[in-house]
Amino acid sequence: MRPRPVVVWLRNDLRLADHRALAAAVATGAPLVFVYILDDETPGAWKRGAASRWWLDKSLAALDGALRARGGRLTLRRGAATQVLPRLVADCDAQAVYFTRAYEPHAVAVEDILKVTFDAVGVAFKRFGGHLLREPEEVRTKAGDVYKVYTPFWKALSADFTPPKPLAAPKTLLGFEHDLASDALADWRLHPATPDWSGGFSECWQPGEAGAHARLKTFLADALQDYAEDRNRPDKPGTSRLSPHLHFGEISPAQCWTAAVHAAHATGGAGKGLETFLKELVWREFSHTLLYYWPDLPEQPFRQEFAAFPWRRDAAHLRAWQRGATGYPIVDAGMRELWHTGYMHNRVRMIVASFLIKHLLVPWQDGEAWFWDTLVDADLANNAASWQWVAGSGADAAPYFRIFNPIAQGLKFDPDGAYVRRWVPELAALSNEALHAPWEAPALMLAAAGITLGKRYPLPIVDHAAARARALAAYDDVKALAQQKS
């Protein structure tokens, strides 16, 4: 007689290789039931955004194909996981549920509720790591406190660190022999309602485990060696572009770490490129640790004095920023790249975030919400920690007086104008010097390029010098208020 099945509950771990929960489930010798639950009970502001839903649709289809090729299949159900998962366990009379740990506040609460539910009926509820290199509880100061500054966090995590050897994907799976009710993926309608928006996504991305490994292979071969410098250049293919694959768990950070170290050693060492890439993986760890211990990070400033910041909620300015119509080419290029591809180069993310927060004084939460809806790599921990870093309100934040000059940033990191010309083609005919500040271009040059500022391309919605002075004054007011209270 066959043992009762084990349910493998999948969330942000949509892969077969280096999957600890899956490997442990296979080791039981029991039939396996694989389930993904589209949880509609996620708090309203943090339900999956439109771009993430597009990716999820493709990733689930890829995962189901990989499971079926090995003898399994993916069951899809929709609703509150606290209700849907116990019903599924009852439907198949499962002996256990194995799953990968998550760190978002809602996900943690769901795990706690389900643990009580399954303990009461004698069903094993086993949690495994794998979404991070090390668990948040494992990286602490000598005094046992949580790190609030990135550099010592990096040093503590990376000291003599070698991740366990990544687990191979199982070649075959013992599937559950009885049919279980399952939704059809197409019925979830995960594609955005405006297909003309997401139409460019497929040109840029291959969601799924195979796509993740192809992306990693290309990065290691073509970009790792020069990563420390080229990652700041949006005009070059110098970044890994692994973030959406990591978010959905199509590849593990341990796989990325191990492969990067091996690639570097095979070529005699990649030097700063390797270290910089590993530091980016650890920044992801740091962000998840902050979210785990400070669950209101996506909504509230980590530094409480910033609760008194004099924000200006200007709908017209926010809309211009969202549409890539601010009049600052490097900012507009980034926002248009985001809209077309569901992604934005990391250097440009910092530039556009600084512009929204410091030039326009629009609350960082408004930018965070836009990124949440439009990024295919939208990740609650990374998104919240990074926006607060730029705002100066985070745990290990950029100095409040660090206000990017979008003109200087464009000239420095897009010196030949290739990035701006791609995404703001109406300015393509301008010289490299004029491209990043078209309002300063000679009238004859504008006329020859067919550009009428204010019509074909907008004039700047704010003056840089005036906006910078206004932002510094606002930050000084917050600083003074905090000193009065202390």
Of the candidates 41, 311, 432, 439, the residue annotated as catalytic is: 311
Return the pLDDT at 196: 67
Of the candidates 339, 364, 372, 389, the residue annotated as catalytic is: 364
439 noted as active-site residue = no
283 noted as active-site residue = yes
311 noted as active-site residue = yes
Return the pLDDT at 1: 65
Q: pTM of the full predicted structure?
A: 0.96
Return the pLDDT at 217: 98
Of the candidates 205, 283, 389, 423, the residue annotated as catalytic is: 283
- At the topology level, CATH places domain 6-130 in Rossmann fold (3.40.50)
Of the candidates 280, 305, 426, 439, the residue annotated as catalytic is: 280
Residues facing residue 32 across a β-bridge: 6, 175
Return the pLDDT at 195: 61
CB distance 247 to 215 below 8 Å: no
Of the candidates 41, 197, 346, 432, the residue annotated as catalytic is: 346
- CA-to-CA separations, 113 to 118, 127, 344, in angstroms, rounded: 9, 13, 37
Return the pLDDT at 197: 75
CATH 1.10.579.10 fits 304-485, yes or no: yes
387 noted as active-site residue = yes
* Domain coordinates in residue numbering, the chain: 6-130, 132-164+209-293, 304-485
- At the topology level, CATH places domain 132-164+209-293 in 1.25.40
Question: One digit per residue, pLDDT tens: the chain, 486 residues?
Answer: 679 999 999 999 999 999 999 999 999 999 999 999 998 767 666 889 999 999 999 999 999 999 999 999 999 999 999 999 999 999 999 999 999 999 999 999 999 999 999 999 999 999 999 999 999 999 999 999 999 999 999 999 999 899 999 999 999 999 998 889 999 999 999 987 776 677 789 999 999 999 999 999 999 999 999 999 999 999 999 999 999 999 999 999 999 999 999 999 888 766 789 999 999 999 999 999 999 999 999 999 999 989 989 999 999 999 999 999 999 999 999 999 999 999 999 999 999 999 999 999 999 999 999 999 999 999 999 999 999 999 999 988 767 778 999 999 999 999 999 999 999 999 999 999 999 999 999 999 999 999 999 999 999 999 999 999 999 999 988 887 767 776
Return the pLDDT at 157: 96
